[in-house]
Amino acid sequence: MYVYLMKNEKPLNEALIKKHVEHLKSLKSQGRLVLCGPFTDFPGGMVVFSADNLEEATNIAKADPFISSGCKTFEIRTLELANEENNYLMEV
């Protein structure tokens, strides 16, 4: 699981937002999108998604029109999902 954290650098326009939404819809149709959205207390947002490796995850982030346009910068993080099935990563 991966997360790309975006930071606003330039203003967005409606056409760019539509392209970003299409990117998210594509990830969703591929079964990759977990969750996404803007931050309410920071100028940016995040996308949580699945990828086979860090290189693929980085390419997915770079393909986001928000990022490829230069309107947002990004940092990518690898996320280990903690949940009930894995006892929230608590080793027993």
Distance from C-alpha of 50 to C-alpha of 79, rounded to nearest angstrom:
10
pTM of the model: 0.91
- Provide the pLDDT for residue 91: 79
Average pLDDT, consecutive stretches of 10 residues, N- to C-terminus, the chain (92 residues):
97 97 98 97 96 98 98 97 91 69
Please state which CATH number belongs to domain 2-89: 3.30.70.1060
Which pair of tokens denotes residue 37?
A: 């959205």
Domain residue spans in the chain?
2-89
3-state secondary structure 38-91: ECCCCCEEEEEECCCCHHHHHHHHHHCHHHHCCCEEEEEEECCCCCHHHHHHCC
pLDDT at position 92, please? 59
Per residue in 62-79, pLDDT tens? 999 999 999 999 999 999
